[in-house]
Amino acid sequence: MSLCHLYNKQTSSLHVEKLKSSFDGVSLDLEDINKLKDYDVYIIELEQTDKELSSKLKTLFQDKNNSLIYFIVSSNYNLMLFQLTYFLKTKDIITKGQNTNNVIKRIATDLKEEKIVVPLITTTSSEIISSRVSFIDLLKQRLAINSQLTAITISIQNLSKITKDLNLLELEEYLYELLIFMESLFEERLIFSQLERDFYVVLLENTSFDDTKDMANEFHNLILEEMAHKEFKFLIDIFVVDLTTLSLEESINTFNSIKTKELNYSQMHSDTLQYTSKTQSVISENSVLDDAFNNKTEFKLLNIYNGLVISTPSKILKRTKEGIYISFEQLQGVVMGIEKETILQSSIFLQDILASIKVINHKKKIAVLEKFKFLSTNANARKFARVTTSRVIPISLNIGSSIINGQIIDLSIKSIAIKSRYSKKVESFKGEDVSIVFNIPNYRFDDGYTQLNISAKVMVVLPLDNEGNCKIVCDFNKASSDESIIKEYVYDRQKELIIEIKKMSKLG
């Protein structure tokens, strides 16, 4: 077994010599090498790191995806260093106070494992946390000995969206800058933890819930001001949690619910949890569109016509006081003319932007947009192509003898949206498994339809209009023979709608 100890300019760790003698090791100064041979184990010793050093390490390890990598750190470390450990898929972190013999045993055991586990947590506390279990242990300890413990959670909501337009190194640069900025604001705090790549927790001792909320508000303003000057802007969600009266299980469940967005309005604004959203107070829709115009950014226009998604490329041609002039493709223009609005989508936009159509010229394929508004949810959040039905189709949802009647709004091969009168019974169906019964048009049958009885789960209930109606969205359960019938109907209905739009474009 071979070991390579890498350091920058100087080495001071007491672990190194014993590790080298146990694993036939060598020491190399990072300043003296530009290429790295293959070893069984790599021990990286860094006091601090910066962009240049981080980039060099990434280059050295770019072809060593299955290597066992460990970091030796001192007490003077920063978040950039721990982001680097995440990027390099570090197996573990070694601190000054650890027993060297135990470290050797751990490495020997790891060499026998087939699977290398990536650490789920990094932190800047005096005790390094390298797993979610360790974080839970620390939280348990703090809850047991402290009368007052609060937390701030920081979520990057649009990381996957930004990732589509940035290569890995560019994304790392953005994350580094964000982490360094956050560290500068929280450097004197108890613990700063990265539970996942886009989710961070700051735990605070002996700080009141109100003071923590004030701190979170100030932090949110500062970080949005920092983001306002960047082309790609992180959409940050901030929660403040009062852990004083919560058990360990309740605390962990709260963090998980925040991460997975499984909170209703009352939970998000309770006595122990506070949500802050300040995006539009610092970054406006107009400033985002200015960036798109100045950077000649191409984006997507989105319209949903009777459930059929129409999405084509566009760009801003001119920016005036009246609005923005954009280009569009023919089918998009037809639907925009009907709906008198469209949605702009791009990875550089914090959120999708709804815009009204002020003027539209179908011959020149130019439209003027105005009245811009960030959308709080993804405009096309349903995962599969969906269509409205060509006529009203009654439908019933059944749990035992309890029945809710309504009509289909739209459906896809995996889900269905239903219009119904809102009632307490409807609310009680939320989250429950139901049987859905309806007749779907099918002209291959003599009577022109097929009756379906499908098992589904009620996912959400949303207000639909001012007349007491609501929208019920259900996901179909396991695939059945009915799926092929629905798939066929959706496909045929999509063709009908495309033909309909094409006819309208010719008439125009």
Tens digits of residue pLDDT in 159-213:
877 777 777 667 767 777 777 777 777 655 556 666 666 788 888 878 888 888 8
Distance of CA 357 to the CA centre of its chain: 30
User: How far apart are alpha carbons 457 and 451 in whole angstroms?
Assistant: 19
Domain assignment present for 203: yes
In 3D, which of 459, 475, 472, 467 has the Cα closest to residue 426?
Answer: 472
Is the domain of 290 the same as that of 346?
Answer: yes
Is the domain of 278 the same as that of 290?
Answer: no
Domain assignment present for 466: yes
Is the domain of 265 the same as that of 290?
Answer: no
- In single-letter form, the type of residue at position 207 comes to T
Domain assignment present for 192: yes
Within 8 A by CB and 6+ apart from 469, the residues are 419, 420, 421, 422
Strand intervals (E) in 128-285? 149-156, 191-196, 199-205, 236-242, 273-276
Burial of 93 per CB tally in 10 Å (0-12, 13-18, 19+):
buried
Q: What is the pLDDT of residue 119?
A: 31
Q: What is the pLDDT of residue 277?
A: 60
Cβ contact 283:349 at 8 Å = no
Cβ contact 418:397 at 8 Å = yes
User: How far apart are alpha carbons 375 and 341 in whole angstroms?
Assistant: 13
452, 454, 457, 458 alpha-carbon torsion, rounded to 10° = 20
User: How far apart are alpha carbons 433 and 456 in whole angstroms?
Assistant: 6
Q: What is the pLDDT of residue 327?
A: 92
Tens digits of residue pLDDT in 237-276:
888 999 888 888 888 888 888 887 776 655 666 778 887 7
- In single-letter form, the type of residue at position 325 comes to Y
Domain assignment present for 145: yes
User: How far apart are alpha carbons 229 and 282 in whole angstroms?
Assistant: 11
Q: CATH number, domain at 424?
A: 2.40.10.220
Is the domain of 450 the same as that of 409?
Answer: yes
Is the domain of 256 the same as that of 153?
Answer: yes
Domain assignment present for 385: no
Q: What is the pLDDT of residue 26?
A: 93
Burial of 275 per CB tally in 10 Å (0-12, 13-18, 19+):
middle
Is the domain of 105 the same as that of 19?
Answer: yes
Domain assignment present for 125: no
Global pTM exceeds 0.75 = no
- Per the document, the length of the chain is 508
Domain count, the chain: 4
Residue span of the structural domain in which 26 resides? 3-112
How do strand 236-242 and strand 273-276 relate by DSSP bridges? Answer: antiparallel
Burial of 53 per CB tally in 10 Å (0-12, 13-18, 19+):
middle
Q: What is the pLDDT of residue 157?
A: 76
Is the domain of 105 the same as that of 146?
Answer: no
Residue pLDDT tens, the chain, 508 long: 789 999 998 888 889 999 999 888 999 999 899 899 999 899 999 887 887 888 889 889 888 877 889 988 775 555 567 667 767 878 777 877 778 888 888 888 888 773 333 333 343 333 334 435 556 766 777 777 766 788 888 888 778 777 777 776 677 677 777 777 777 776 555 566 666 667 888 888 788 888 888 888 888 888 777 777 777 777 788 889 998 888 888 888 888 888 877 766 556 667 788 877 655 444 567 777 887 788 788 888 998 888 788 888 999 998 888 889 999 998 899 999 888 999 988 866 767 889 999 999 988 999 999 988 887 655 555 445 678 888 899 999 999 888 999 999 988 888 889 999 998 888 889 888 899 999 888 777 767 788 888 888 898 888 888 888 999 998 888 666 677 788 888 888 888 888 888 888 776 5
User: How far apart are alpha carbons 68 and 42 in whole angstroms?
Assistant: 6
Domain assignment present for 500: no
Is the domain of 263 the same as that of 290?
Answer: no
User: How far apart are alpha carbons 329 and 375 in whole angstroms?
Assistant: 23
Is the domain of 108 the same as that of 196?
Answer: no
Which of 265, 282, 299 is the endpoint of a domain? 282
Helices (H), 277-432: 279-282, 285-294, 330-339, 424-429
Is the domain of 92 the same as that of 168?
Answer: no
Q: CATH number, domain at 16?
A: 3.40.50.2300
Q: How far is CA 237 from CA 152, 253, 294, in A?
A: 10, 18, 27
Q: What are phi and psi of 284, to 5 degrees?
A: -100, 165
Within 8 A by CB and 6+ apart from 470, the residues are 419, 420, 421, 422, 426, 461, 462, 463, 464
User: How far apart are alpha carbons 353 and 297 in whole angstroms?
Assistant: 15
Domain assignment present for 308: yes
Cβ contact 75:126 at 8 Å = yes
Is the domain of 29 the same as that of 77?
Answer: yes
